[in-house]
């Protein structure tokens, strides 16, 4: 069976037409004065999903999260949670909890009191609170820090307290605003997997806001890519990467080479594209393009093969010269300047320690790729 | 850094401190003077302190001052904190600039004018001058100082703390009393202390707004001095200085301890 990307997904309610959406944004608009932060946005999130809102700062992703938490009310449209319209419900009555980017730990309370805060507001009995707090401390491995105040903890420990506090009430939905933004790289990678495990263990719906595409790709079941208050694409990480819906998405996630051109010919199975500078590219049939249409052919660097001779069986092969090479250890990145002037980025995994056919600056080189290696974009 | 003391440095420090503290030192020294003549040293004695405690007028004035100070500082702290909250939280209401200007104007208003205008007001509305009017006047005077102190703390207050509390189910009122208030409490306490100190040493406004039976300590001292300085007054002032100095020293030691503890905690956290 063929599949986009390298992971088979068994959890995919978004492909099931009978699945009931858990969180629903219906034509939601949010304006701050003249500025439109969120523009007529619709989105559905399913129960137990790990959903990521990905975008540059100011794209409206945090506003979306704050509307879900109840700190902002939509200017228009409605938000449904488990079938219930959230309009007018204040944050302290919503069955969602949020983990803040700054962690927002109460500085005058110990770790255990921070975690117990939400439970006390619920009026939970004292022995039960103690039990739940102990359980949460164990979950985030902070048992011996229960009596400390937040300023007596390291950054990673604070992050875990914030997490424990926000899941202590067993919310229906956990909102995470840049949950790993303040951690250093190594800790961030570890914590990504911890978060995923935690989500599985608790069976909660997670909505995470991030500007870090790697973080979103690692953790999320689906990603919504946002720009200027609108959703550009909602899809699994593999779809976002392998089948971006637009130029913006292709550019935003990962590296990409773009060839502008026109559809020259369509046959039963393949489409031939003439690049703006004359390059001829043959791709597997792209839907909804007709002959003569202006299109963009996008291809990821790792799907391009670089060689010193033209591969005999290549459908698509373009000639050029090595412009730049960078050896990164796990892979090597080539910048090839094609004879028509366009620079193509290609990366090759260094699967072996010894290279048979090494290239260097100013060598003649061929770039080649399969007909199914790239995508045709119409916008 | 240069650790050697040049002659110039030493001279300027000695002169500077002499300028600041010589009058006070003189006052303290002469409060222990045996002689009744203020400027002639007649030997060491504490008799003026004893007679001070038998001077009913001075003791009454001290009691009035303490009560005015505590009541006015407390009311001013409540009002000043509310004003500071309004000014930092509601940044867009109509007339905000006018409001903040009016809150802070008493900071720079000459005391004579504040005192005179309050006097005119009290006379106009037929309020008998006395303990109540001095207290009211001191609330007016000190509220803006509290507002300034509390506002400077609120500006750096992380609003997401309040959002987190509400997110966890606390109503706005609970959020204020369980989160906001405890976090800004140190600023509120220093605002109160500032208000109390201002009320304690105010002479001008008290003179305008006080009436018979509500003479404050500064007023009493000033009126006695006009009849000639007695060593008793020196003793009273020395005690006043001692009270203020002890307060300042306790506050700074507590502050220093907190700072040191905090640094140790942070180092411990760094080590994990």
Q: Which CATH architecture group holds B57-227?
A: Orthogonal Bundle (1.10)
Determine whether the interchain pair A102/B171 forms a contact, defined as Cβ–Cβ distance below 8 Å: no
Q: Cα dist. A245→A64, A251, A376, B144 in Å?
A: 22, 11, 9, 59
The reported pLDDT for the residue numbered B272 is 53
Are A318 and A187 within one domain? no
Asked whether residue A3 carries a pLDDT value surpassing 80, the answer given is no
Asked whether residue A220 carries a pLDDT value surpassing 70, the answer given is yes
Instruction: Give mean pLDDT, residues A305-333.
Output: 91
Burial of B60 (0-12, 13-18, 19+ CB in 10 A): middle
Residues 93 to 132 of A: which have CB under 8 A from any B CB?
93, 96-98, 100-102, 104, 106-108, 117-118, 121-122
Residue A367 lies in a domain: yes
Residue A8 lies in a domain: no
Average pLDDT, chain A: 90
The reported pLDDT for the residue numbered B3 is 64
Instruction: Give mean pLDDT, residues A267-286.
Output: 81
pTM, two decimal places: 0.81
Are A239 and A262 within one domain? no
Are A211 and A322 within one domain? no
What is chain B's alpha carbon radius of gyration, rounded to the nearest angstrom? 24
A314-323, B111-120, B239-248: least confidently modelled range? B239-248
Domain that holds residue A51: 13-251
Q: Which of A96, A100, A151 sits opposite B164 (nearest CB)?
A: A100
Two tokens, residue A224: 């919504």
A265-269, B8-12, B177-181: least confidently modelled range? A265-269
Average pLDDT, chain B: 86
CA distance B272 to chain A (A): 7
Two tokens, residue B92: 């867009």
Are A268 and A201 within one domain? no
CA distance B257 to chain A (A): 16
Determine whether the interchain pair B165/A117 forms a contact, defined as Cβ–Cβ distance below 8 Å: yes
Burial of B124 (0-12, 13-18, 19+ CB in 10 A): exposed
Give alpha helix (H) positions in chain A: 61-69, 111-122, 126-139, 155-167, 185-202, 213-219, 237-242, 247-252
Residue A312 lies in a domain: yes
Quote the ipTM score.
0.83
The reported pLDDT for the residue numbered B270 is 65
**pLDDT tens digits for range A222-261:** 999 999 999 999 999 999 999 999 999 999 998 999 998 8
Are A51 and A88 within one domain? yes
Are A225 and A146 within one domain? yes
Burial of B86 (0-12, 13-18, 19+ CB in 10 A): middle
Instruction: Give mean pLDDT, residues B176-191.
Output: 91
Q: Where are the domains of chain B?
A: 57-227
Residue A2 lies in a domain: no
Residue with tokens 């200007």: B101
**Residue A340 banded pLDDT, cuts 50, 70, 90:** confident
Are A174 and A52 within one domain? yes
Please state, for a pLDDT cut of 90, what percent of chain A lies above it.
62
The CB density around residue A104, as the number of other CB atoms within 10 Å, is 26
First and final C-alpha spacing in chain A: 30
Give chain B's length. 272
Residue A7 lies in a domain: no
Instruction: Give mean pLDDT, residues A111-129.
Output: 94
Please state, for a pLDDT cut of 70, what percent of chain A lies above it.
99
Task: Return the bridge partners of A116, or none.
Answer: none
**Residue A271 banded pLDDT, cuts 50, 70, 90:** confident
Are A100 and A124 within one domain? yes
Q: Which of A104, A149, A153 sits opposite B163 (nearest CB)?
A: A104
Q: Which residues of B touch A97 (CB under 8 A)?
A: 167-168
Are A247 and A260 within one domain? no
CA distance A205 to chain B (A): 17
Are A206 and A300 within one domain? no
The reported pLDDT for the residue numbered A287 is 67
Asked whether residue A63 carries a pLDDT value surpassing 70, the answer given is yes
**pLDDT tens digits for range A4-16:** 777 777 888 888 8
Phi then psi for A19, rounded to 5 degrees? -65, 140
Last residue of a domain, one of A231, A251, A271: A251
Q: Which of A92, A149, A166 sits opposite B166 (nearest CB)?
A: A92
Q: Which of B160, B168, B270 sits opposite A118 (nearest CB)?
A: B168
**Sign of the four-CA dihedral B164, B165, B166, B169:** positive
Residue A6 lies in a domain: no
C-beta of residue A367 within 8 angstroms of C-beta of residue A318: yes
Asked whether residue A2 carries a pLDDT value surpassing 80, the answer given is no
Q: What is the CATH number of the domain that holds A51?
A: 3.40.50.300
């Amino acid at each position: 069976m063929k599949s986009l990307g390298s992971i088979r997904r068994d959890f995919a309610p978004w492909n099931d037409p009978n699945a009931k959406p858990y969180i629903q944004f219906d034509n939601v608009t949010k304006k701050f004065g003249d500025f439109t932060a969120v523009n007529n946005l619709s989105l559905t999130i399913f129960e137990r999903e790990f959903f990521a809102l990905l975008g540059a700062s100011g794209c409206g992703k945090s506003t979306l999260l704050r509307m879900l938490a109840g700190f902002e009310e939509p200017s228009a449209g409605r938000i449904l949670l488990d079938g219930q319209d959230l309009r007018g419900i204040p944050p302290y009555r919503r069955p969602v909890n949020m983990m803040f980017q700054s962690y927002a730990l109460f500085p005058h309370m110990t770790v255990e009191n921070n975690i117990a805060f939400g439970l006390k507001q619920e009026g939970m009995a004292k022995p039960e609170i103690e039990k739940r707090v102990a359980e949460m401390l164990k979950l985030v491995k902070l048992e011996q820090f229960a009596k400390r105040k937040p300023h007596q903890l390291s950054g990673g420990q604070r992050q875990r307290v914030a997490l424990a506090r926000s899941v202590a009430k067993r919310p229906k939905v956990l909102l995470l605003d840049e949950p790993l933004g303040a951690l250093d790289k190594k800790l961030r990678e570890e914590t990504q997997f911890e978060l995923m495990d935690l989500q599985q263990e608790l069976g909660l719906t997670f909505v995470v806001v991030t500007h870090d595409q790697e973080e979103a790709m690692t953790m999320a079941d689906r990603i919504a890519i946002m720009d200027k208050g609108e959703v550009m694409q909602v899809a699994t990480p593999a779809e976002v990467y392998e089948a971006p819906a637009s130029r913006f998405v292709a550019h935003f996630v990962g590296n990409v080479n773009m060839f502008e051109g026109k559809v020259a010919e369509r046959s039963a199975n393949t489409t031939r594209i003439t690049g703006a500078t004359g390059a001829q590219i043959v791709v597997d049939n792209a839907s909804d393009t007709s002959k003569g249409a202006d299109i963009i052919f996008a291809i990821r660097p790792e799907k391009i093969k670089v060689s010193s001779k033209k591969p005999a069986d290549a459908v698509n092969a373009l000639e050029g010269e090595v412009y730049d090479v960078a050896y990164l250890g796990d892979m090597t990145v080539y910048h090839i300047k094609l004879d028509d002037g366009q620079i193509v980025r290609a990366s090759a995994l260094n699967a072996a320690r010894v290279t048979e056919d090494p290239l260097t600056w100013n060598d003649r080189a061929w770039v080649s790729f399969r007909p199914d290696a790239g995508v045709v974009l119409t916008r | 850094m240069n650790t050697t003391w040049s002659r110039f440095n030493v001279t300027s420090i000695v002169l500077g401190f002499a300028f600041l503290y010589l009058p006070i030192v003189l006052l303290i020294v002469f409060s222990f003077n045996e002689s009744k003549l203020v400027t002639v040293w007649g030997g060491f004695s504490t008799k003026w302190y004893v007679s001070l405690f038998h001077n009913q007028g001075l003791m009454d004035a001290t009691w009035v001052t303490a009560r005015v100070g505590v009541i006015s500082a407390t009311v001013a702290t409540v009002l000043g904190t509310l004003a500071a909250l309004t000014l930092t939280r509601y940044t867009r209401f109509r007339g905000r600039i006018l409001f903040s200007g009016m809150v802070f104007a008493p900071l720079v208003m000459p005391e004579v004018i504040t005192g005179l205008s309050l006097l005119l007001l009290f006379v106009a509305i037929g309020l008998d001058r006395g303990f109540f009017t001095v207290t009211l006047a001191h609330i007016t005077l000190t509220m803006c100082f509290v507002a300034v102190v509390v506002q400077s703390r609120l500006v750096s207050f992380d609003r997401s703390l309040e959002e987190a509390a509400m997110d966890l189910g606390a109503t706005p009122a609970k959020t204020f009393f369980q989160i906001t208030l405890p976090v800004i409490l140190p600023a509120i306490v220093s605002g109160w202390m500032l208000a109390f100190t201002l009320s304690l040493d105010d002479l001008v406004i008290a003179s305008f707004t006080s009436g018979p039976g509500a003479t404050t300590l500064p007023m009493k001292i000033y009126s006695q001095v006009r009849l000639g300085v007695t060593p008793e007054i020196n003793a009273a002032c020395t005690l006043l200085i001692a009270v203020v100095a002890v307060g300042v020293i306790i506050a700074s030691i507590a502050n220093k301890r907190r700072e040191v503890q905090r640094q140790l905690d942070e180092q411990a956290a760094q080590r994990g």
